[in-house]
Amino acid sequence: EVQLLESGGGLVQPGGSLRLSCAASGFTFSSHWMHWVRQAPGKGLVWVSRINTDGNRINYADAVEGRFTISRDNAQNTLYLQMNSLTAEDTAVYFCVRDRRGGRTAFDNWGRGAPVTVSS
Protein backbone atom coordinates (compact mmCIF):
# COMPACT_ATOMS: atom_id res chain seq x y z
CA GLU A 1 0.00 0.00 0.00
CA VAL A 2 1.30 3.40 -1.00
CA GLN A 3 1.80 5.68 1.99
CA LEU A 4 2.93 9.29 2.06
CA LEU A 5 3.36 10.77 5.52
CA GLU A 6 4.07 14.47 5.87
CA SER A 7 5.65 16.03 8.92
CA GLY A 8 7.19 19.33 9.96
CA GLY A 9 4.14 21.56 9.71
CA GLY A 10 3.15 24.02 12.41
CA LEU A 11 2.90 27.64 13.42
CA VAL A 12 5.61 30.04 12.23
CA GLN A 13 5.97 33.80 12.33
CA PRO A 14 5.98 35.88 9.15
CA GLY A 15 9.45 35.87 7.66
CA GLY A 16 10.26 32.57 9.27
CA SER A 17 11.20 29.20 7.83
CA LEU A 18 9.88 25.68 7.99
CA ARG A 19 10.95 22.39 6.48
CA LEU A 20 8.39 19.81 5.51
CA SER A 21 9.26 16.15 5.09
CA CYS A 22 7.33 13.40 3.39
CA ALA A 23 8.19 9.78 4.18
CA ALA A 24 7.20 7.48 1.35
CA SER A 25 6.59 3.76 1.57
CA GLY A 26 4.85 0.96 -0.29
CA PHE A 27 6.35 1.77 -3.68
CA THR A 28 9.68 2.40 -5.39
CA PHE A 29 10.13 6.03 -4.43
CA SER A 30 13.09 6.60 -6.73
CA SER A 31 10.97 5.76 -9.78
CA HIS A 32 8.40 8.52 -9.35
CA TRP A 33 8.39 12.24 -9.86
CA MET A 34 7.00 13.93 -6.75
CA HIS A 35 5.08 17.13 -6.05
CA TRP A 36 3.86 19.42 -3.35
CA VAL A 37 0.33 20.79 -3.62
CA ARG A 38 -1.21 23.18 -1.10
CA GLN A 39 -4.69 24.20 -0.06
CA ALA A 40 -5.40 27.36 1.89
CA PRO A 41 -8.26 27.16 4.42
CA GLY A 42 -11.56 26.92 2.58
CA LYS A 43 -9.89 27.31 -0.81
CA GLY A 44 -8.96 25.16 -3.76
CA LEU A 45 -5.89 23.16 -4.69
CA VAL A 46 -2.72 24.89 -5.84
CA TRP A 47 0.32 23.14 -7.28
CA VAL A 48 3.55 24.28 -5.59
CA SER A 49 6.51 22.37 -6.95
CA ARG A 50 7.73 19.19 -8.61
CA ILE A 51 10.96 17.22 -8.72
CA ASN A 52 12.02 14.45 -11.07
CA THR A 53 13.34 11.06 -10.03
CA ASP A 54 16.99 12.13 -9.87
CA GLY A 55 16.36 15.51 -8.31
CA ASN A 56 17.90 17.46 -11.16
CA ARG A 57 14.72 18.72 -12.81
CA ILE A 58 12.70 21.02 -10.62
CA ASN A 59 9.86 23.47 -11.19
CA TYR A 60 8.07 25.92 -8.90
CA ALA A 61 4.92 27.97 -8.94
CA ASP A 62 5.67 31.68 -9.34
CA ALA A 63 4.26 32.38 -5.87
CA VAL A 64 7.02 30.35 -4.18
CA GLU A 65 9.92 30.63 -6.64
CA GLY A 66 13.04 31.85 -4.85
CA ARG A 67 11.62 31.14 -1.39
CA PHE A 68 10.84 27.41 -1.43
CA THR A 69 13.20 24.56 -2.27
CA ILE A 70 12.08 21.05 -3.11
CA SER A 71 14.49 18.15 -2.73
CA ARG A 72 14.53 14.42 -2.25
CA ASP A 73 16.61 11.67 -0.71
CA ASN A 74 15.99 8.47 -2.61
CA ALA A 75 18.07 6.44 -0.16
CA GLN A 76 15.76 7.56 2.66
CA ASN A 77 12.57 7.52 0.54
CA THR A 78 11.88 11.07 1.62
CA LEU A 79 10.70 14.25 -0.10
CA TYR A 80 11.35 17.67 1.36
CA LEU A 81 10.10 21.22 1.04
CA GLN A 82 12.20 23.96 2.58
CA MET A 83 10.08 27.07 2.98
CA ASN A 84 11.72 30.43 3.70
CA SER A 85 10.47 34.03 3.99
CA LEU A 86 7.01 32.77 4.82
CA THR A 87 4.02 35.10 4.63
CA ALA A 88 0.39 34.78 5.68
CA GLU A 89 -0.44 33.83 2.09
CA ASP A 90 1.56 30.62 2.57
CA THR A 91 -0.86 29.42 5.25
CA ALA A 92 -2.26 26.16 3.94
CA VAL A 93 -2.29 22.40 4.21
CA TYR A 94 0.65 21.08 2.20
CA PHE A 95 0.14 17.74 0.49
CA CYS A 96 2.93 15.46 -0.62
CA VAL A 97 1.82 13.93 -3.90
CA ARG A 98 3.09 11.10 -6.08
CA ASP A 99 3.09 11.42 -9.86
CA ARG A 100 1.90 8.33 -11.67
CA ARG A 101 4.46 6.59 -13.85
CA GLY A 102 4.11 6.85 -17.59
CA GLY A 103 2.22 9.43 -19.57
CA ARG A 104 1.45 12.94 -18.49
CA THR A 105 1.52 14.10 -14.90
CA ALA A 106 -1.33 12.95 -12.71
CA PHE A 107 -1.42 13.04 -8.94
CA ASP A 108 -2.27 9.45 -8.14
CA ASN A 109 -1.49 9.27 -4.43
CA TRP A 110 -1.70 11.97 -1.79
CA GLY A 111 -0.52 12.25 1.78
CA ARG A 112 -2.87 13.43 4.51
CA GLY A 113 -1.28 16.86 4.47
CA ALA A 114 0.80 19.00 6.81
CA PRO A 115 -0.86 22.17 8.12
CA VAL A 116 1.27 25.30 8.00
CA THR A 117 0.10 28.49 9.70
CA VAL A 118 2.02 31.74 9.24
CA SER A 119 0.98 34.21 11.89
CA SER A 120 2.42 36.50 14.52
Partner 1 sequence: DIQMTQSPSSLSASVGDRVTITCRASQTISSFLNWYQQKPGKAPKFLIYDASTLQNGVPSRFSGSGSGTDFTLTISNLQPEDFATYYCQQSYSTPYTFGQGTKLEIK
Cβ closer to partner 1: 16 or 71? Answer: 71
- 109 contributes a contact to partner 1 by CB under 8 A: yes
Q: Which amino acid is at 67?
A: R
- 95 contributes a contact to partner 1 by CB under 8 A: yes
Q: How far is the CB of 84 from partner 1 (least distance, A)?
A: 20
- 41 contributes a contact to partner 1 by CB under 8 A: no
Q: What is the DSSP letter of 64?
A: T
Q: How far is the CB of 27 from partner 1 (least distance, A)?
A: 14
- As a whole number of angstroms, the distance between CA 43 and CA 54 comes to 32
Q: Is 43 helix (H, G, I), strand (E, B) or coil?
A: coil
- Neighbouring CB atoms inside 10 A of 116's CB total 22
Q: How far is the CB of 24 from partner 1 (least distance, A)?
A: 14
- 110 contributes a contact to partner 1 by CB under 8 A: yes
Strands 107-110 and 92-99: antiparallel
- As a whole number of angstroms, the distance between CA 96 and CA 81 comes to 9
Q: How far is the CB of 49 from partner 1 (least distance, A)?
A: 9
Contacts with partner 1 by CB under 8 A lie at: 35, 44-47, 50, 59, 61-62, 95, 100, 103-113
